Amino acid sequence: MHPIRKFLLITLAVLALGGGAAAVFMQLQGAHELPSHATVIPAPMPLPEFALLDHAGNQFDRQSLRGEWSLVFFGFTHCPDICPATLQQLAIARGKVLAADGGQGNSFPRIVLVSVDPERDTVEIMREYVANFGADITGVTGDIDELKKLTAALGIFFEKSADGSENYNVAHSAVVLLINPKAEFHALFSAPHDIENFVNDVPILTGS
């Protein structure tokens, strides 16, 4: 970048107080639309190697996340509120985006639910559960140690309650992660979630 252009960008970014200066700054910057809610990772982070199972019983690993955008949420099927609400919001957002662009299936990422309760969430249970939220959603479960490889790398917290009952709860992070087609952690949506935030930001982030 030319030194003068760089200086102007920095100066306008710091000093712009009026609409005119802000407009000039955006024009020099390229006027790219920015997401209003999502947090973009400055340097997308490659996912670690892991080996889980999808709801059809097939291996689900880092390679499974290559080639398309994915919105990944960590939850569990016995979750009473946050999990079903978030998945429903994602499904509705997907429907809105597809309706707006004529139903092009590649204009919204697939939705992936990764269970943080693999002890109860078998492949069969995941298959039945994700079917409640539409066709283009993948349920993932598997070995707890393999799960921890993924959650540790992504900073996802989860903890099983110690009450000893069969109806135990699992505390967990409620963020939705956007994984790019290179299987890299690209951006995140923090809770509380809103349908319109997904509708607005996801197409911007994916360039669709």
Give yes or no: residues 38 and 28 share one domain: no
Distance from C-alpha of 77 to C-alpha of 122, rounded to nearest angstrom: 10
Give yes or no: residues 119 and 193 share one domain: yes
Note the pTM of the prediction, 2 decimals.
0.82
Give yes or no: residues 23 and 103 share one domain: no
Task: For residue 114, list its beta bridge partners.
Answer: 74, 140
Give yes or no: residues 56 and 5 share one domain: no
Residue 4, pLDDT > 70, answer: no
Residue 85's nearest CA partner among 63, 125, 52, 113 is 113
Write out pLDDT tens, residues 116-163.
999 999 999 999 999 999 888 999 999 999 999 999 999 999 999 988
Looking at residues 55-74, what average pLDDT do you find? 98
Give yes or no: residues 112 and 196 share one domain: yes
Give yes or no: residues 22 and 47 share one domain: no
Number of structural domains (the chain) is: 2
Give yes or no: residues 1 and 73 share one domain: no
Give yes or no: residues 23 and 100 share one domain: no
Residue span of the structural domain in which 28 resides: 1-32
Task: For residue 170, list its beta bridge partners.
Answer: 160
Give yes or no: residues 15 and 53 share one domain: no
pLDDT band at 32 (very low <50, low <70, confident <90, very high): low
CATH number (domain holding residue 185): 3.40.30.10
Give yes or no: residues 60 and 155 share one domain: yes
| Residue 102: per-residue pLDDT | 72
| Residue 136: per-residue pLDDT | 85
| Residue 163: per-residue pLDDT | 80
| Residue 105: per-residue pLDDT | 56
- The strand pair at 170-172 and 70-75 is best described as unpaired
| Residue 2: per-residue pLDDT | 37
More confident residue, 24 or 133: 133
Give yes or no: residues 38 and 27 share one domain: no
Tokens read off for 70: 């994915």
Distance from C-alpha of 4 to C-alpha of 16, rounded to nearest angstrom: 17
Give yes or no: residues 76 and 86 share one domain: yes
Task: For residue 113, list its beta bridge partners.
Answer: 73, 139
